[in-house]
Structure formats: structure tokens, C-alpha cells
Amino acid sequence: MRRALAAAIVAALQLTGCSAAGSPWSGPFTPPQGLSRASSWVSGPVATGGIYDIMVRDFRNYSGSPVRVLSVRLVSPHGPGIQVLGARAYPYSRLTLNGTASIDEGDLAKGCPEVFVQHPVTDVVVPPRSNTTWYIVIALVFHIPGRFYHFGVVRVDYLTGGKRGWQYDWLTNARLHTVPKGAIPHLYQPEVCKHA
């Protein structure tokens, strides 16, 4: 029903590090000093012209107040070869059959609306000292073949305790190179639900 990106996926750890107050890396989703967050490492080709959904690492709210996400924006990589379609959120409760991947392919809500029920990221509220119940991706299209991209960083704007704030956070650690669409047979296979 689904295919993973044709790439090597190796479990790894990404350290966010300890940030001083006021640092763009400091916020409710920043682990306390000494803690790290698991991530994955993905490498491989991607086809130009197709929609790719790059996973934003699951938010954990380390603060004592609920946090509402206001926006998630790609910081790096950037450039004329990437068209960002925006951040999209899907409840994990509907993904029990498909699961999730570090990188999905296609317009998920269009190809599989029974499973990928798309919501605006403003619907994402993370309770105090809890993990998110949402699968959040940055949907984008690559336009120029022969480019190499290392993902990356996102900016997360949020509301907590009646105050707005923002911080940087990590995307899936993906190192991708673009090839013309059709250059590698069956490389790009957008998500489509199969019906009985």
C-alpha cells in the first residue's frame, strides 16, 4: 500500500543541545540539558515535479503549559529549486493502518483521504509534558535536477500561556539528490489507498 523512499534509513540521534534563554533553539519543544530526541537518517534520489512530504520530528512539549502550534516553516534548505507547498498535519489516530515514514510521496489527503485526514497546523495542541498526537510534514516539490539538499531546520511559531513565541526545530535528517522525473523507473510513487 505504501512504499518507503528508496533510500538507506539508519536510526540515529540528533542532539538539539542546550540553548540559553532567548536563543532561537530555546522553547517548549527543546529538551532539557542532557536529553536527546531520536531521529532517522535518510539518503537517496528524489524525482523532480513530484510532491514529497518531509516529516517534522514529533513535538514533545517539555513545558508545564499547553502549546498551540501556529505555523511550521522551512528554514533550510532553501532556494529556487524548491517550491514549498506548506505544512500539513494529520492525526496519528487515523494512521494506524499506514503508519508514517520519514518521507512520504504525493498529495496524501488526495491520494488516501480515509487515512490522511488533513488539518491546518493550528489544530495542533500539545499538552504539558506530553508528546504530540499529530504527524506533521512539510510538503514540497523539487524543480531542478542535479541538486543536493540536506534537510534541515524549521521555524515553529506557537502560542502558550497567552503569549506568542517561536523556536527552531529539526526536520528528518534527509540528504537527497534530485533526478529528472522518469529517470529512475518507479522512483516516485505517490501514496494511494487500495480499496478492497
pLDDT of residue 170: 85
Per-residue model confidence as pLDDT tens digits over 69-82: 999 999 999 888 99
Q: How confident is the model at residue 127 (pLDDT cuts 50, 70, 90)?
A: very high
In one letter, which amino acid is 139? A
Q: For residue 88, is pLDDT > 60?
A: yes
In the sheet with 125-126, reading across from the earlier edge strand, the strands are: 125-126, 67-76, 153-160, 163-170
Cα(119)–Cα(38) distance, rounded to whole angstroms?
A: 25
CA 125, 130, 135, 139 torsion: positive or negative? Answer: positive
Task: Note the pLDDT tens digit of each residue in 160-175.
Answer: 999 999 999 988 888 9
93-99: long-range contacts, CB 8 A cutoff, minimum separation 24: 93/133, 95/135, 97/1, 98/1, 98/2, 98/191, 99/2
Q: Which domains does the chain have, with CATH numbers?
A: 8-179 (2.60.40.10)
Model confidence at 17, pLDDT cuts 50, 70, 90, reads: very low
Instruction: Tell me the C-alpha to C-alpha distance, in Å, between residue 117 and each of 72, 93, 134.
Output: 18, 10, 11
Q: What value does the mean pLDDT take over residues 107-133?
A: 94
